[in-house]
Structure 1
Amino acid sequence: MAFLKWIHLLALLHYVRYGLANTNNCNFDKQCRCWLRKDHLNVDCSNSGKFSVPTVPTNVYTLNVSHNDILRIRNGTFKNLFQLITLDLSWNHIKTLEPEAFIDLHSLKQLILQNNLLRYDNAVFPTNIFRPVVSLQSFNVQRNSRKNEHTFPDDIISNILTLESFYVDAIFVSRVLSFGKGYSRLQKLTKLFLGHCLLTKIDKNTFVNVPYLEHLQISRCTIRVYNPSALQSLLRMKILDLSNNDLDFGGFSNLVKDTEKMKLLETLILTNTFPYQMILPKLFFYYLGATKIRELYINENWFFNATPEGEHIERLPPTLQYLDFSKNKLIDCRFDMPSLKEINIQHNYLSRFLASESYAPMLENDTSYLLETVDLSFNEIHELKWSVFNNQLKLKIINLSNNLLSNIAFDISLLTKLEMLDLSNNNITIISNMQPKETITNKSMRSKFKEDLSNNLLQCVCKETSFLRWMINHITVFYNIHHYKCKLDSGKVVDRNFVHNVEQVIKGCRDYTVLVICISLVLCLSIVIVVGGLLYRYRWKLRYMYYMTKSKYYRYRPLDTEGLYTYDAFISYSDKEKDFIIKECIPKLEVERNLKLCVHQRDFIPGEEITVNITSAINDSKKTICIITRSF
């Protein structure tokens, strides 16, 4: 389906480049536009309000008369247009084609009659009307038939033996569609596209007379019943499009069995084909393994389990390279994918599964898969198993956008070929995990690696300046970095000029840091000065407390300690006053008054420091008597 869109887009670009760029009004009809391409005259008379086909030069190569009000194509309308290759009569009101309407169109290869009022019967399409178009390869008559139970008459179409592509309507409600025997003459008919389509069912007789088909599109036909062997005759089928139908599980199973016979099948499109919740039919991939399937589209359905047998790991066909399992209800998805290069499993419910498991499980032989692109977006993923990508060493693109990830907590260090890691629209505020940061740093120097963090609310605050500097230092890694969202310290969110905003934040945080350091130094210095001043002011009290504490733990304590004080008084004097103490004080106080004195020459403990002895004497005496003399 994607390749058809590309074809249409390329055709449009081709027309714009080579057509409109050199377009002028035609000399023979000012309402038409003409241009030459490779010496071929191309005429475009679309949307010009014409009621009949204009007369054009005989050397015209392509003629577009679409979107007008033409009612009838008369005999000889295209007489002598022997070089005409493409004729577009779509989007008119054509009801009648006269028998010799297409005379002289011997070179015509493409005829477009879609969106007119042409009935599929011999009254509108005379039996021999297409005999002149001996080179016709593509015929589009879709969006014409308004009558049920009719397909394009086989006796008319059978005259176009060169026909390769046929676009036709099919409205069959009460009976089963069947292409007549005349179609069997069209051995070159390889492409069949059903346009205005309404079918209740298809069976083995539907396509029995078009066995040469390689590309069949029966999309938007509301098919509900797929009988067994409905496509068994299409052994040459390469592209099968059954999208936008209403098959049940039984019809799906019948289809799966038919695919085994399509040995040449390369593309199978089952988009929005199954409106009921179901699991994949058993042996689905087994039957496809007998084909040459390269692309498989089973998106926009109601599958909730991608593995038909529970814990069994399903092996994909060895030729399959693209698998689209998006927009389903999957809660479990794991495959052995020997040749798969791209898998799309976006818009599912794989959050819980992927937190501990992988869609590509590790096999016994530790084989690395060939996968290059994986799309896991829109799965409400909060976290991923650390090694989820470790056996996919050829990965180039990982799409994890539109999930709920808050950090890069998975390993990408082994993915040497990784080119894009899309983490846009998640809940990432910073990358705090060191290993992913180191891996990203290494990849930025060795490859074209890009990472997309668009629409994540990154924290542009002072405490995350290390992360912000790392981003700026590796600016080439981050895709579209200038439009990243940034939440400032103030709570304001900015989504433009990310790099400039980050640089301003880093600069502001640097100035703030210097201020904090200066204030801290001043505060510390003030504390030191205050404490030093207090120590100096109370130095004697502190010294006293120090020596008292020291004496308490280290001085000699006599065994007999009667009373609270050992001495009645401690006599402090100079050695020059020794005679006065011995002759006057001791006799008067100790003998006459019966007081006990502490005299250092008699009572101090030998070997102790003098300061300790003095402190102990003061502490053990009721009074301290100082003999104040000049020598003291």
Structure 2
Amino acid sequence: MSKRKTIPNLPSNINFLNLKSNRIILLYNSNFNNLNDLLELDLSWNKLERMEFGSFTGLINLQKLILEHNNLSLQWKSFPHGIFAPLKSLTHLNAKYNDWDGFLACKNVVTKLTQLEIIEIDIDESPACPDIDYGFSKLTNLKSFVSGYCNFTLFGPITFENMKCLQFVDISRCSISVVLDDSFQGQKQLKHPKLKTIILSHNILSDISFDMSTLPTLEMLNLSHNNIQAFSEESMESIYSRGGQNILFLVFLEQIRPSELPLVMLELVQKQSYIEYPNDEQGNVVFWDKIKETLIT
């Protein structure tokens, strides 16, 4: 059975449209012109290279757009200026795993989508894209920020400066070696900060270099699969200076003998202030139950 290469004619009253895993290469002008009631559109895992201006005309109530795993890029001039302008109700954009050039932020394609609450996007830091931080900083209503393809070595205070609603940040599998000390300074200045989860796994961090006292609501920090060998005294002090609030660390130390463990980890072992991740399926269930119990209490 052959896969669809074009958008079919559709009834105007549908709310959800799933065209995932087809062979669609091009979105034409007014493809969805009559779908005023559509709330969610999934075009992931197609062959999309280009979208004509007006491709999303008519989607005035669309809340979620999924474009991940396509071939959208600067090379194909995939995004005409104002391509997302009709999407006045869009709160969730998933466009990750398209292009290593991080086009959406670099060319200010998403900066006017100020109503976005969730963004999943490719990130690139290159001479062709020097102001990527500013592109994201305009998305002031974001609650969740997730990277796809990622080539990003460090980030500073501009990236999340204006994100007053931010709760979840996942910038894993990048090349981040430094998180500047004032990267989350804007969160501390908020009257009601909300950031609870930061995932920086699979990077090349050697230490926690940012001040965690600026993150009073943080509950989970995932630093697994980095180059961390020990926590500096300053880093630990910033953890303890958070008003006595609890924080969950996920730390993976593979094939390390007890004699080689950092002193901080040995102290946690002695106090039994840790939960060990198991190697079997039943233990895995128990582990996450313990995590849930710890967070609740």
With normalisation by structure 1, the TM-score equals 0.39
Partner deviation per Cα, 1:465-506 (whole Å, 9 max, x = no partner): xxxxxxxxxxxxxxxxxxxxxxxxxxxxxxxxxxxxxxxxxx
- Provide the residue aligned with 1:172 in structure 2: 125
Q: Is the 8 A contact 2:184 2:214 kept in 1?
A: no
Shift, 1:272, TM fit: 1.4
- Provide the residue aligned with 2:206 in structure 1: 248
Shift, 1:136, TM fit: 0.7
- Provide the residue aligned with 2:261 in structure 1: 304
- Provide the residue aligned with 2:233 in structure 1: 282
Structure-2 separation of matches of 1:123 and 1:113: 16
Please say if 1:115 is aligned against 2:51: no
Residues 174 and 76 of structure 1: CA distance in aligned 2, closer, same or farther (over 3 Å): closer
Residues 287 and 225 of structure 1: CA distance in aligned 2, closer, same or farther (over 3 Å): closer
Structure-2 separation of matches of 1:87 and 1:206: 28
Q: Residue 63 of structure 1: which of 17, 40, 47 is its match?
A: 17
Partner deviation per Cα, 1:592-624 (whole Å, 9 max, x = no partner): xxxxxxxxxxxxxxxxxxxxxxxxxxxxxxxxx
Partner deviation per Cα, 1:383-422 (whole Å, 9 max, x = no partner): xxxxxxxxxxxxx98xxxxxxxxxxxxxxxxxxxxxxxxx
Q: Residue 130 of structure 1: which of 60, 84, 107 is its match?
A: 84
- What are the residue-to-residue correspondences of 1:158-557 with 2, within 5 Å? 158-172=111-125, 178-181=131-134, 183-208=136-161, 210=163, 212-235=165-188, 236=193, 237-249=195-207, 252=208, 254-255=209-210, 258-273=211-226, 275=227, 278-282=229-233, 284-289=235-240, 290=242, 292-300=245-253, 304-305=261-262, 307=264, 333-335=269-271, 343-346=274-277
Q: Which runs of 5 or more structure 1 residues have no equivalent in the other structure?
A: 1-30, 32-47, 315-332, 338-342, 349-372, 376-395, 398-632
Partner deviation per Cα, 1:83-117 (whole Å, 9 max, x = no partner): 21110001111111111111111121110011111
Q: Is the 8 A contact 1:179 1:209 kept in 2?
A: no
Structure-2 separation of matches of 1:234 and 1:145: 30
Number of equivalenced pairs? 273
Q: Is the 8 A contact 2:6 2:24 kept in 1?
A: yes
- Provide the residue aligned with 1:94 in structure 2: 48
Structure-1 separation of matches of 2:127 and 2:253: 29
Greater RCO, 1 or 2 (C-alpha within 8 Å, sep 6+): 2
Residues 243 and 178 of structure 1: CA distance in aligned 2, closer, same or farther (over 3 Å): farther
Q: Is the 8 A contact 1:177 1:202 kept in 2?
A: no
Residues 334 and 283 of structure 1: CA distance in aligned 2, closer, same or farther (over 3 Å): farther
Structure-1 separation of matches of 2:146 and 2:216: 21
| One-letter amino acid of the structure 1 residue matched with residue 167 of structure 2 | E
Q: Is the 8 A contact 1:205 1:230 kept in 2?
A: yes
Q: Which runs of 5 or more structure 2 residues have no equivalent in the other structure?
A: 280-284, 291-297
SS in 2 for 1:288: helix
User: Structure 1 vs Structure 2: percent identity of aligned residues?
Assistant: 26
Shift, 1:155, TM fit: 3.8
Structure-2 separation of matches of 1:181 and 1:152: 8
Residues 188 and 202 of structure 1: CA distance in aligned 2, closer, same or farther (over 3 Å): closer
Q: Is the 8 A contact 2:140 2:162 kept in 1?
A: no
Structure-1 separation of matches of 2:160 and 2:79: 23
Q: Is the 8 A contact 2:136 2:159 kept in 1?
A: no
Q: Is the 8 A contact 2:105 2:111 kept in 1?
A: no
| One-letter amino acid of the structure 1 residue matched with residue 262 of structure 2 | N
| One-letter amino acid of the structure 2 residue matched with residue 239 of structure 1 | T
Residues 334 and 285 of structure 1: CA distance in aligned 2, closer, same or farther (over 3 Å): farther
Structure-2 separation of matches of 1:161 and 1:284: 34
Aligned-residue CA RMSD (Å): 3.3
Structure-1 separation of matches of 2:233 and 2:252: 18
Q: Is the 8 A contact 1:183 1:209 kept in 2?
A: no
SS in 2 for 1:193: strand
With normalisation by structure 2, the TM-score equals 0.78
Structure-2 separation of matches of 1:218 and 1:182: 16
Shift, 1:227, TM fit: 3.3
Residues 92 and 189 of structure 1: CA distance in aligned 2, closer, same or farther (over 3 Å): same
Residues 334 and 176 of structure 1: CA distance in aligned 2, closer, same or farther (over 3 Å): farther
Partner deviation per Cα, 1:552-611 (whole Å, 9 max, x = no partner): xxxxxxxxxxxxxxxxxxxxxxxxxxxxxxxxxxxxxxxxxxxxxxxxxxxxxxxxxxxx
Partner deviation per Cα, 1:343-362 (whole Å, 9 max, x = no partner): 422479xxxxxxxxxxxxxx
